Chain A
Amino acid sequence: MANTLEQGTAAGSGRRPGTPPGDGGTGPVLEITDLVIEHRRERSREMFRAVDGVSLAIGAGETVGVVGESGSGKTTLAMAATGLGATGSGGLRLLGRDLRALRSRELRALRPEVQVVFQDPHGSLDPRQSVRSGLRELRGLQPERTSWIDDEALLEQVRLAPELLDRYPHQLSGGQAQRVCIARALVMRPRLIVADEPTSGLDVSVQADVLELLRASQRTAGASMLFISHDLAVVRSICQQVHVMFRGKVVESGPVDQVFTDPQDPYTRRLIEAMPGARWRARR
C-alpha cells in the first residue's frame, strides 16, 4: 500500500503530535469567548442573534462536538471560528492569534492550518473541476505541505477508488462527494479541522472508516477538530467534549458521556429522547 495518513503525517511534518509550530503549541487551538453574531433579517432593518454569547475552547489534539437544533447557529459559529464568515463581537482566537486583528496576508498564511468540511458537499465542490484537477490546484497552493501523499493513496484513505479522480462532482454520489471534501481537507494536514456534518451522507460502514481516519489524523498529527453533527451516537463516539446549542446559545456542555447519560438541560433531554430507532431498540 502507498503512504498512509499515519505515516505521512508523522514522517512528512517532522513535528511532534500536539506541539505544532508557531505559537509554542501550549494554548488552545481555538478559543471563543462570549461570541455574538448577528444576521440581518431579509427585507427589514432588524438584526437577530444567530450566535448569542457562546464560549468554547479546543485544545491541541482535542475533538469537540457541537450538536443542537436546526438553525441554532452551529454553522454560523463554525464560519466565524475559521474567519470565513462574519466574526461578530467577543473573543475569537485561532492558533493563539486574535482573528480580527490579523491582516489579510497573515490570515492567508493561517488558511492551510484550518480546513473546513462544509455541510453541503456537492455545493462546496467546483462543478467545472474534476477531482484530480481540484486536488492539483490545492497542491499548487501548498506544494510542500501536500507532498506527503499522492492522489491515489489519498482517495484510498477515504475509501474511494482511484478511477473517481477523473470524475466531475455531478458524476459522484452524495457520499463520494462528501469523502472528496474530507480528502481535500486532510491533504493539507491542518491543525484544526472544522467539520460540519461530515458523515451525514455516508452509510454506516463507510462512516465507521471515515471516523477512524479522522481519529487517526488526530492521534498522529495532533490535529484538533470542531465536529458539528446531528448524529448523537457519532458525536459520542468521536468527541471528548460536547456543546449543545439551542437558539444561538450553548445550553449545556461537558464530557460526552456525562452530557449524554446525565443530561441536565431540558433541550438535551428532548434530543436524546427523539433519537430515531425506538422500534429497533425495542426489538433488541
Chain B
Amino acid sequence: MAAEPTFETAPAARPDGDLLAVRDLTATAALADRSLTLLDGVSIAIAPGEVLGVVGESGSGKTTLARAVVGLLERNVSIAGGAIELAGETIVAPGVGATDQARGRRVGMVFQGASRSLNPLIRVRRQLAEVLRRHEPGISRDDVTRRSEDVLREMRIEDPDRVLDSYPHQLSGGLRQRVAIALAVVTRPSLVIADECTTALDVTTQAEVVRLFRTLIDDLGLGLLFVTHDLMLASDLCDRIVVMSQGRVVESGPTAEVLDRPQDPYTRRLLAAVPTWTEGVENPHA
C-alpha cells in the first residue's frame, strides 16, 4: 500500500470535525494572453453524514471547485491561494497538490458528463475491478465480481452482467451515468463529490439514486458534495446549500432557508426562473 503523503506543515488539530474544509480557495486559469480567476475566495465545509448542495449559474466555478478537491484541475488551472483540508489534513494549498493516492481511496468523484468519468476503451467490468483492486490490493476475484454486480444493482441496473460486459458507448446516457456513480461509491469512500450526476436519469431512477446516497449517508456517515442545476432535487436531498456566482459563494445556509428566503439577488433570480409544474408552464402553442 502507498504511504500516506507527508506535508511540510503538519495538519492542525480539528476542533470542529469537518470531513472537508475548503478555506478561502482561489484558483486561476492561464490563457494565451491573460489569466482568469475561476474561484475567488471560496469557503465551504462538510461534516460526516452531511450533504452540501452547490448550485449556481453555469460557468460560476462549481466544477472547478469539485475538481480542486480531488486534485484534478485542468493543466492550465492552478491554486493561487487558500487551502483544502480532508479530515484535518491539508491536501491542497498553493504548491501542494497533484495526485494523492490516499485521497483517491477516501474520495469518490463523479465527473460532469459521464465521458469524463469512464474510459471509452475499457469494458465496465475492468473499470470497476481496477478501482476495487487499487483500493483493496488483496481482494479476491470472486469478491470483485460480487461487489461489481452488487453496486450496479444498487444503481437499479437490472442486468448487471450485460452492463459489465459492455463498453461505455454501448450503454445509454443514463446507464453510463449510473456506472460513473458506481465507480465513485463502490469502495465506500468517506466523501463523494458528485458533479451533475443525475442529469441523464429519468426521475424514477433519479429518486432511486438519491435513496442510495441517503443510505450511504445514514449508514456509513458519507459526506456528499452535490453539484446540481436542479433546485428541486437539491431541496429534496441537501442539508445545506451554497449558491455560487462568478467564482464566489454568494449565499449559503440550510436548504429551506436559502430556498424560501433567498437574500442574494442572484439566488432570487435563479429561484424565479424555476419552471413550475402547474403555472410557470408558459406554452405559446398550447
Residues of A within 8 A of B (CB): 39, 41-43, 63, 67-71, 74-75, 119-123, 166, 170-171, 173-176, 179, 196-197, 200-208, 215, 219, 230-234, 236-238, 240, 255-257, 270-271, 274-281, 283
Contacts and interface: CB of A to CB of B under 8 A. Distances in A.
B270 A174 contact: no
A246 B8 CA distance: 57
Given A237-B281, A271-B203, A203 B58 contact: yes
Given A233-B280, A256-B283, A280-B231, A120 B29 contact: no
B259 A280 contact: yes
Given A171-B29, A276-B230, A234 B275 contact: yes
B88 interface: no
Interface stretch (B91-99, B170-178, B182-190): B170-178
The 4 A-B pairs at the shortest CB distance, nearest first, are namely: A70-B174, A175-B58, A277-B232, A123-B115
Given A42-B167, A203-B57, A271-B204, A119 B173 contact: yes
A29 to B, nearest CB: 16
A205 B165 contact: no
B121 to A, nearest CB: 14
30 contacts: A42-B162, A42-B167, A70-B174, A70-B201, A120-B113, A120-B115, A122-B112, A122-B115, A174-B195, A175-B59, A175-B229, A179-B58, A200-B196, A201-B112, A201-B196, A202-B58, A203-B55, A203-B270, A206-B57, A207-B229, A230-B200, A236-B281, A255-B286, A256-B286, A271-B202, A274-B207, A276-B230, A276-B232, A276-B236, A280-B259
A171 B283 CA distance: 35
B146 interface: no
Given A236-B281, A274-B203, A277-B236, A203 B56 contact: yes
B149 to A, nearest CB: 15
Interface in B29-60: 29, 31-32, 55-59
Contacts of A176: 58-59
Contact of A201 (B29, B58, B203, B235): B58
B283 A230 contact: no
A68 B280 CA distance: 22
B233 interface: yes
Given A68-B202, A123-B115, A174-B112, A201 B229 contact: yes
B275 A233 contact: yes
A197 B172 CA distance: 12
Given A120-B115, A173-B58, A230-B201, 4 more contacts: A43-B165, A119-B200, A204-B274, A206-B58
A42 B170 contact: yes
B236 A278 contact: yes
Interface string B196-234: 100111111111001000000000000000000111110
Contact of B205 (A70, A231, A233): A70
B196 A174 contact: yes
A274 B201 CA distance: 12
A174 B196 CA distance: 9
Contacts of B275: 204, 207-208, 231, 233-234, 237
Central interface residue in B76, B204, B270, B280, by most chain A CB within 10 Å = B204
Contacts of A233: 275-277, 280-281
A202 B203 CA distance: 17
A279 B236 contact: yes
Contacts of B273: 203-205, 207-208
B35 to A, nearest CB: 13
Contact of A237 (B58, B206, B282): B282
B57 A280 contact: no
A66 to B, nearest CB: 11
Nearest to B237: A276
B142 interface: no
A217 to B, nearest CB: 13
A215 B174 contact: no
B258 to A, nearest CB: 12
Contacts of A280: 231-232, 235-236, 259
A174 B58 contact: yes
B13 to A, nearest CB: 37
B285 interface: yes
Nearest to B199: A200
Contact of A238 (B31, B206, B283): B283
Contacts of B282: 237
Contact of A277 (B59, B170, B196, B235): B235
